[in-house]
Amino acid sequence: MPTITLHRPAMDELSFRQSLLADPATMAFNHAYGGTIDFPAERWADWYARWVEDDTGQRFYRYLYDAGRAAFVGEVSYHFDNELNAYICDVIVPAAHRGRGCGSRGLTLLCQAAKERGVSRLQDNIAVDNPSVSIFLKSGFWETYRNDEYILVAKDLRP
């Protein structure tokens, strides 16, 4: 199992996020919504202020850092969605690092961080054809809704 920790990225480290979002293999799960996502450097400052420097408790964002490889191996985040009235989480691991426990460890760390910040429940919408749903289910999430497009999973973080 890799030695993975959460890392609060510096603004100049956002090139890792840029490469994640630009990689077709990594973003294949997002095919229904266009696949890759453009994240140009001119957007970094505003994005960073909203996601990394947020002090409202509405957003949390970190990289997954593998000390054994001395490399970033993914990202995790959550945000409060007003429409759903819920905290929605995200885990993205580069295609090259999948199948090595990075996503599972990242999800565990994200749940711990959310709980420490007073979040009582996390949810995620996962495309029905996205194999990552198994990671969520193995990590204590349960399926709360399913349609032809997505599966909604949730996990209570209270003791």
Q: What pLDDT does 2 receive?
A: 57
Greatest distance between any 2 Cα atoms in the chain: 42
Measured at the CA of 105, the angle between CA 100 and CA 106, to 5 degrees, comes to: 110
Provide the pLDDT confidence category of residue 119 given band limits of 50, 70 and 90. very high
pLDDT of 71-102, one tens digit each?
Answer: 999 999 999 999 999 999 999 999 998 988 89
Statement: residue 30 has pLDDT above 90: no
pLDDT of 99-118, one tens digit each?
Answer: 888 999 999 999 999 999 99
Give the 3-state secondary structure of residue 79.
strand
Record the pTM: 0.93
